[in-house]
Structure 1
Amino acid sequence: MSILEAIILAIIEGITEFLPISSTGHMVIAASAMGIGADAYTKVFMVCIQLGAIMSVVVMYFKRFFKNFDFYFKLLAAFIPTAILGLLLKKQIDALLENVTVVAVTLLVGGVILLFIDKWFAKNEEMPENEMTYKKAAIIGTFQAISMIPGMSRSAVSIIGGLTQKLDRKTAAEFSFFLAVPTMFGATVKSMYDEREMLMQADLSLLAIGNVVAFVVAMIAIKFFIGVLTKYGFKAFGYYRIALGLAILILMALGYDLRIAD
């Protein structure tokens, strides 16, 4: 992986991590296009630079993160389902990270769902129940576990989980941001531990650059997303996902090899 490739992936991560369009899916597609998708270092890199992106949440919502201990326990209740399933299904998840077809299909299906989300949960904006309980947190965390399938989008499914608990769009999105912190931190630590021997011989400066770039870009993306989500809802993101998923499937049907080579 070159510095330019690392920066490109980090920019993609920063832009897409908190948008409901799948950061992992976009990075898998980009890595495949650059011919580095099958590299072991690339796979670790794509996980670890999420740490830079989630640090932007800690900075932007600093007061909320250090308000009370009850907040942390609710995040823990939401984090546990993803942590358990992540440990049990790690090998299967890693295999899916190499499958562009899976990404295309999940982008498409998720996009169709987003077209109707605003209508399904319209009442939440009029009469929201924004008090976060342990039960709501656990249910949102269970939804988040679905995002381990590349292309599903951690942000999208966790926000949808929040909407099912009668949160309004802004509150659901912000809790999704907060939940990203323990989730992505845990994924980063696990990935680095599993690949510690490879990382000891790798150029760690690329990871440092990637995390810094992802942090800066994510700060901008969060502000943009909250503004668009509050004013317009999910439909635009749904159309984008559908267009991208269809484009990938059409290119593959026409004979373009978008698979990640072994």
Structure 2
Amino acid sequence: MKISRTIVCLLLMAILLTARQVYAQTEARVESPEPARATLSPFQAVALGFVEGVTEYLPVSSTGHLLIAVHLLGMDTTQRQKDAAESLAICIQSGAILAVLVLYFGRIRQIVAGMLGRNPEGLKLLFNLLVAFFPAAVIGLLFNKWIKAHLFGVIPVAIGLFVGGVLILAQSLFGMKQNQDTGKELTQLSVRDALFVGIMQCLAFWPGFSRSLATILGCRWTGMRMMAAVEFSFLLGLVTLSAATAYEGLKHGKDMIADYGMTTPLIALFVAFVAAVVSVRFMVGALSKFGLSPFGYYRILLALACLYWL
């Protein structure tokens, strides 16, 4: 009898503990409901694709513009929506990557020939691109989470835009006075120069500063002529953006597709490709005529507008 009573008591205790645990789990689900699924309308896809394509290779910060656009479109009201939008912003960079592949196919072919041992200059260019990419790869892997947690916001973007704009105007007024058409060619870049440009590219981890601006300034400070600096910036962006897109796609691609599906992200990617083709052609012409100064004024005005708006 004693044994039976003990067994019954143990069973009752187990039932009570189980009921308590089930109740606690139910209460937790009520208090912390599943976050609403993020959505992406065709209009939002077109808007984000356009912003990405236009700004990716201009020295104005595509990441900064996308964060502002996401905020204006109301796509960051919850953490789940914010995470999905950030993943989309990185993945649609594929459109900008394709634009450079199309517009600079001749240079890409030279690099491929270098890989096959048929073009020494192409091989040297590839090596310099990998050297320039290395610092960003290390910083990105080590501090990616910290950067997203602390720097992905409208105020940090506004600060980055302002600082970059002031730097552009400062270098225009007090920096290089030489003609934009004079300086080193793309194939004359040394390994030391490539490493310096790669270190400069790391400034772009501050959203709003601009990867394009950092690399163009880095190339110019090594003595490259403007158009050669712009081309190296485009090619380095091809390597850097491809790595970032692949990393983000493998890590968060499934979650993004679960929220957005396939159709609207593809719309954003296509719009980004078309806009990037037009933007790259515009930038080459604008820089050859006016230099970086107009972009500096634009960045400062946009930063002040953001700060006033907030």
Per the TM superposition, whether the score is higher than 0.5 is yes
1:45: which partner in 2?
A: 88
2:223: which partner in 1?
A: 166
Amino acid at match of 2:198: G
Gaps of 5+ in 1: 253-262
Q: Does the C-alpha gap of structure 1 residues 126 and 69 become closer, same or farther in structure 2, counting only changes over 3 Å?
A: closer
CA distance in 2, matches of 1:96, 1:231: 38
Amino acid at match of 1:169: M
Match of 2:74 among 18, 35, 46: 35
Q: In the alignment, is residue 11 of structure 1 matched against residue 26 of structure 2?
A: no
CA distance in 2, matches of 1:84, 1:122: 34
CA distance in 1, matches of 2:158, 2:198: 24
1:182: which partner in 2?
A: 239
CA distance in 1, matches of 2:52, 2:257: 24
- Are the equivalent residues in 2 in contact too, given 1:124–1:163 (CA < 8 A)? no
1:230: which partner in 2?
A: 288
Q: In the alignment, is residue 103 of structure 1 matched against residue 157 of structure 2?
A: yes
Amino acid at match of 1:137: A
Q: Does the C-alpha gap of structure 1 residues 194 and 226 become closer, same or farther in structure 2, counting only changes over 3 Å?
A: same
1:137: which partner in 2?
A: 194
Amino acid at match of 1:156: L
Q: Does the C-alpha gap of structure 1 residues 198 and 69 become closer, same or farther in structure 2, counting only changes over 3 Å?
A: same
Identity among equivalent pairs (%): 37
- Are the equivalent residues in 2 in contact too, given 1:124–1:166 (CA < 8 A)? no
Look up the SS of the partner of 1:123 in the other structure. coil
Structure number with greater Rg is 2
1:85: which partner in 2?
A: 139
CA distance in 1, matches of 2:218, 2:285: 20
- Are the equivalent residues in 1 in contact too, given 2:152–2:207 (CA < 8 A)? no
Q: Does the C-alpha gap of structure 1 residues 135 and 109 become closer, same or farther in structure 2, counting only changes over 3 Å?
A: same
- Shift of the alpha carbon at 1:43? 0.8
CA distance in 1, matches of 2:221, 2:162: 21
CA distance in 1, matches of 2:223, 2:302: 30
- Shift of the alpha carbon at 1:214? 0.6
2:125: which partner in 1?
A: 71
Gaps of 5+ in 2: 1-39, 111-121
Q: Does the C-alpha gap of structure 1 residues 92 and 103 become closer, same or farther in structure 2, counting only changes over 3 Å?
A: same
State the TM-score, normalized to the length of structure 2.
0.78
CA distance in 2, matches of 1:44, 1:166: 36
Query: Per-residue displacement from partner, 1:144-184 (whole Å, max 9, x unpaired)?
Result: 11101100001001101101101111111110000011100
Q: CA RMSD in A?
A: 1.5
Look up the SS of the partner of 1:66 in the other structure. helix
Q: In the alignment, is residue 61 of structure 1 matched against residue 104 of structure 2?
A: yes
Which structure 2 residues correspond to residues 250-261 of structure 1 after superposition, within 5 A?
250-252=308-310
**Is 8-17 or 62-71 further displaced after alignment?**
62-71
State the TM-score, normalized to the length of structure 1.
0.92
CA distance in 1, matches of 2:150, 2:220: 28
Give 4+ residue runs of structure 1 displaced > 6 Å after superposition: none
